[in-house]
Chain A
Amino acid sequence: MTKKIVQIENVGQSFDTKKGKFVALRDVHLDIHEGESIALIGHSGCGKSTLLNLIAGLTRPTSGVMLCDGREIAGPGPERAVVFQNHSLLPWLTCFDNVFLAVERVFSAKEGKAKLKQRTHEALELVGLTHAENKYPHEISGGMKQRVGIARALSMQPRILLMDEPFGALDALTRANLQDELMKILAATKATMVMVTHDVDEAVLLSDRVVMLTNGPAATIGEILEVKIDRPRDRLALAHDAHFGDCRAAIMEFLYHKQLKRAA
C-alpha cells in the first residue's frame, strides 16, 4: 500500500453552544493514502463539513490526533486546497482575481506575472468560465460561483484536494463534465482527494473508498466501502458494471435503511 498522507486517530469534535456542549463527531479513525480519492457521504448535518474542516486545519479537534505527512495538522495551508461548500469567493474581486489571488500565493516565488496570469486563465478555462473572467461573483449564477471555487482550488495544484459538495449546485451535464475533468486531473497530478457529496453515483464514480458517516449528533464512521473499479473509469460503461451496482446498493442500504431507521 502507498504511504499514508493523512492519519485521523480517535478524533472527536465538539462545539460549545448556548445549550451546552454539542458533540458533532466522536471516535473517528481514518487513514488516507497518497493519491487516494475518498468520498464522504452521510445525511445532512451529520458532520461531513466538520470532518473536512478538520483535515483542512481550519478547526482543531477537541480530542484525538490529526496528522498530515506524519506531522500534526496545526493549521491550514495551500498544499491542502479547499473548495468550500458555500464557494466563499471574495465579492470585491472578479472571478479572475479570485483565482489569481490563489495562483499568486502559490507560484509567485518561482514564476513571472505572465505565467501566473496564464495559469489563472487555464484554471478558469478548465471549468468553462473563460467568458465570465471579468465578472464579479454577484453577477454570476450559483453554479458558476461553485466552478470558480473549484478553479481556485485546482489552480493551486494542491497535494490534497478537499471538496465540500463541489458539484451540488450544478446541472447534470456540467456536473458530469467536471467530474470527468476532475478524474483526469487527479490521474495526472496524483493528488489525493477527499470529497463530501450527497450523490451516491458521484461517490462511487469518483472514489476509491466511500466513507459513510452515521447520523449526528456524535456521528462517526459507520462503514467504509472499497470501490474496486479500474481507472480510467467511463461513466457509460459503468452503468452496466455489476460491481458499480453493488457499491451503489450498499451505500443506499446504509443511507436509507440503516441510518434512516436510527434517525427515526
Chain B
Amino acid sequence: MTAAVIASRPGAGVEIETVRVAGGRNETGSEASVTVVEQKVEKVEKAEVETERNGRFGEWLQALSRAVLPPVIGLALLIGIWHLATLNGGGIPSPGKTWQAAVVLFSDPFYIDGPNDQGIGWNVLASLERVGIGFGIAALVGIPAGFLLGRFAVLSQMLNPIISLLRPVSPLAWLPIGLLVFQRADPAATWTIFICSIWPMILNTAQGVTRVPQDYLNVARVLNLSEWKIFTKILFPAVLPYMLTGIRLSIGTAWLVIVAAEMLTGGVGIGFWVWDEWNNLKVEHIIIAIFVIGIVGLVLEQILMLIARRFSYETR
C-alpha cells in the first residue's frame, strides 16, 4: 500500500510539506505561526476559521508524512548505496545514468521496429498477456480441482503425493515439455505459466474447503440444504478468502516465471527484452527492466488485495 502512495507523490512535494509541518509543530499556539499562515492565505478577516482549517490540514499532513516518510527514506538509502557502489566505475551503471536511460526509454514505450525490436510497453503487455492466459487457464482448472480435493478425502489422498512431487519442480524444467507438445515457443511459455501457477490455487482452495468451520456445515445439515445451496451459501463464501490467497500467490509465481520462460523462448516480452539488452550490453536497461518487473508485480498484487478485501465478509 505505502509503495503505491510513494509512486503517486513526487518526492519534492513531500519534503516541502514535512518542513512546514515541523515548523507548525514547534510553534504551536504562538502568534508568529498564525500570522505566517494568514499572510499566505491573505484573508485576515477570517483568521479564526482559517487557522482551524489549517490545523486540520496540518494534522492530515502529519499523518501523511508519517505514512510516507519512512518508505521514502528507505528508497533514498537504496539509491544512495547504489550510487556509492557505482562511484568507482565498474559494469553497473549509476542511478543518474539509469534515470537518463529511463527517460529516453519511456518517452516512446510503444514503438515497433520490426518483430524483435519493440518498445518496452509492448514487451510488458506481451508478457502480461501470456501471464493472463496461462494464469486464467490455471484458475479455471485449479480452483474447481481444489474444491474437489477438499471435499473428497479419497481424491486428495490420491493426488496429494503427485502434487507434492510436481510442485517444487522448477519452471524451466517444464518448458521443454511444452516446446515438445506445442512445437511453438509462445504456447510453451503459456504452458509453463499454467503449470507453475496452478499449485497454489489447488492447495489453498482445498485447504479452505477442509477448514470450513463445522458449525456452518452443521447449519447446512440441520436445514438439509441441497448440494448446490451448500456450495453457493456456505462452501464458496467460506473458501473465498483462501481461494484469493491462492490466486495472489499464483499471480506472483506466474509473474516470476514469465521472465525466465521468455528468456528461453524469445519473441516479444519483458523477459526476452532483458536478455536482448544483455546481449546489447545495455545494463542500464536491465536495471530499468528490474524496476518495471517489480512495479508490475506489485500492482498485480495490490489489485488482487483490493479484490480480496472487497469480497471478504468481515470488512464489507
Q: Measuring CB to CB, which residues of chain A are less than 8 angstroms from any residue of chain B?
A: 56-58, 75-78, 80-82, 84, 86, 88, 90-93, 101-102, 105, 136, 138, 156
Contacts and interface: CB of A to CB of B under 8 A. Distances in A.
A91 B218 CA distance: 14
Contact of A82 (B222, B229, B233, B314): B222
A103 to B, nearest CB: 10
Interface string B232-249: 011001100000000000
A76 B222 contact: yes
Contacts of A77: 222, 224
Contact of B215 (A80, A84, A136): A84
B316 interface: yes
B223 A101 contact: yes
A88 B219 CA distance: 7
B219 A90 contact: yes
Nearest to B237: A92
A56 B222 CA distance: 8
Interface in B202-241: 215-216, 218-219, 221-225, 229, 233-234, 237-238
B224 A76 contact: yes
Contact of A81 (B216, B218, B222, B234): B222
B314 A91 contact: yes
Interface residues of B, number: 17
Contacts of B233: 90, 93, 101
A214 to B, nearest CB: 26
Given A56-B222, A82-B218, 9 more contacts: A58-B221, A58-B222, A82-B222, A84-B219, A90-B234, A91-B313, A92-B238, A92-B313, A93-B233
Given A92-B237, A136-B316, A75 B219 contact: no
A226 to B, nearest CB: 30
A86 B218 CA distance: 12
B216 A90 contact: yes
Contacts of B237: 90, 92
Contacts of B225: 101, 105
Interface in B102-121: none
15 contacts: A57-B221, A76-B218, A76-B221, A78-B223, A82-B218, A82-B222, A84-B219, A88-B216, A88-B219, A90-B233, A91-B313, A93-B233, A101-B225, A105-B225, A138-B314
Contacts of A88: 215-216, 218-219
Nearest to A81: B222
A82 to B, nearest CB: 5
Given A86-B215, A88-B216, A136 B313 contact: yes
A57 B218 CA distance: 10
Nearest to B216: A90
